[in-house]
Structure 1
Amino acid sequence: MTGALAPTKPLTVADRCDRCGAQAYVRAVLVGGGDLLFCAHHGRKYAEALRSNGADIQDESARLTETPASAVDDDR
């Protein structure tokens, strides 16, 4: 994320990719207003083009590889 625009709220399971309908992990906030939501795959595919047009990218795709707290607690 570039920080050029005000921070946006975290993405939830209800947020869906505008290309394929999968869970969204990437938000592109457009310069002219509005935003686009993408799954991790489509976020990677379009991020460079969106950035070059001034979009601010909120990428939460790292959540896909995080270990849930409950899984860590189960190892005790």
Structure 2
Amino acid sequence: MTGALAPTKPLTAADRCDRCGAQAYVRAVLAGGGDLLFCAHHGRKYSASLRACGADIYDETDRLMKTPATAHRQER
């Protein structure tokens, strides 16, 4: 992250990539206001050029590596 304040809400499954519609894991907060959401692929592709334009990048792609908790199976 590069900014003084992080966005207050983490990205959810309802947040979609502005480029392809996949689940968003990267938020680019533009210097002039507003933000863009990207999937991991498009976040990697565009983050350097967005940073060069003054955008703050918030990358949540580390969530892709986490293993979700599973419910315990009850034996009968």
Amino acid at match of 1:7: A
Q: 2:44 aligns to what?
A: 44
Q: Secondary structure at the match of 1:19?
A: coil
Pairing 1:23–2:33 present: no
Aligned-residue identity in percent: 75
CA radius of gyration, larger in:
2
Runs of 5+ unmatched residues, structure 1: none
Stretches of structure 2 that go unaligned for 5 or more consecutive residues are none
How many aligned residue pairs are there? 72
Q: CA deviation at 1:69?
A: 3.3
**What's the RMSD between the two structures over aligned residues?**
1.6
User: Could you tell me the TM-score, scaled by structure 2's length?
Assistant: 0.86
List structure 1 segments (4+ residues) > 6 angstroms apart after TM superposition: none
SS at match of 1:69: coil
